[in-house]
Chain A
């Protein structure tokens, strides 16, 4: 299985901050990387797929980048609705695997 390692596990930030979350795969995943946002009691929601493609309807303050093993999710200006847990997920091979999550908290 491909292991996905996210950092940090928790991030404290303020509204308006630029936020970056990283994800490292145990082997190259050829940009088959998605980012999900999950709020308490809710299902995950896809934000980014294929490393950098923004899902329809997702605000443009979210962006993704990376290649090979290393990927990044950036929120350019954190909004109140963005406080949530974020997961990366590789879809290069089965089983699909997720990072352990990054909780973005209010500072």
Chain B
């Protein structure tokens, strides 16, 4: 059974860089040409799509974050990662990683989510 698990810094100071990693277990991140996505949810609010890294390494970032975000894939570790620079309090959220399933575009496997707080 496929599982995703987020890890990384839970507390980040303003203007610094948020770094998260998502590790896949139960399968290979290089199989089936899926996309690996990041989504966040500010406290008490809805879901915001951040972007994806494709199994081949290409990426897409949502325009509002494009200047600050980088996503990458490490096939040797079965992981993908998110870096978000110059963070502010507005970046405080639960961050989820998810698999965007090839062919039907359903996000069918999600991590449990990790809370990131931006505060000095």
Contact residues of A with B, CB < 8 Å? 1, 32, 34, 36, 42-46, 49-50, 53, 55, 87, 89, 91, 94-101
Asked if A44 contacts B110 (CB within 8 A), the reply is yes
Least CB separation from B105: chain A residue: A91
Asked if A55 contacts B108 (CB within 8 A), the reply is yes
Which chain B residues numbered 86 to 120 have a C-beta less than 8 Å away from chain A?
96, 98, 100, 104-108, 110-113
Query: A49-B104, A49-B105 are contacts. A95–B46 as well, Cβ < 8 Å?
Result: no
Q: How far is the CA of A44 from the CA of B62 in the complex (A)?
A: 20
Asked if A34 contacts B63 (CB within 8 A), the reply is no
Least CB separation from B49: chain A residue: A96
- Total CB contacts across the A-B interface at under 8 A: 57
Would you mind naming 16 contact pairs between A and B with Cβ atoms under 8 Å apart? A34-B105, A36-B47, A36-B107, A43-B112, A46-B108, A50-B105, A89-B107, A94-B60, A94-B62, A95-B49, A95-B51, A95-B62, A97-B49, A98-B48, A100-B46, A101-B46
Which residues in A have their C-beta under 8 angstroms from that of B106? Answer: 34, 46, 49-50, 55, 91
Asked if B105 contacts A43 (CB within 8 A), the reply is no
Q: How far is the CA of A98 from the CA of B42 in the complex (A)?
A: 14
Q: Hey, what's the 0/1 contact readout for B15-37 against A, CB within 8 Å counting as 1?
A: 00000000000000000000001
Out of B46, B62, B111, which one reaches A43, CB within 8 Å? B111
Interface of A is mostly: loop
Q: How many residues of B contact A (CB 8 A)?
A: 21
Q: How far is the CA of A94 from the CA of B100 in the complex (A)?
A: 12
Asked if A87 contacts B46 (CB within 8 A), the reply is yes
Which residues in B have their C-beta under 8 angstroms from that of A32? Answer: 105
Q: Hey, what's the 0/1 contact readout for B44-58 against A, CB within 8 Å counting as 1?
A: 001111010000000
Which residues in A have their C-beta under 8 angstroms from that of B47? Answer: 36, 44, 87, 89, 98, 101
Q: How far is the CA of A99 from the CA of B49 in the complex (A)?
A: 11
Asked if A44 contacts B49 (CB within 8 A), the reply is no
Which chain B residues numbered 41 to 91 have a C-beta less than 8 Å away from chain A?
46-49, 51, 60, 62-63
Q: Which 8 A-B pairs have the closest CB atoms?
A: A91-B105, A49-B106, A43-B110, A95-B62, A96-B49, A98-B47, A46-B106, A101-B46
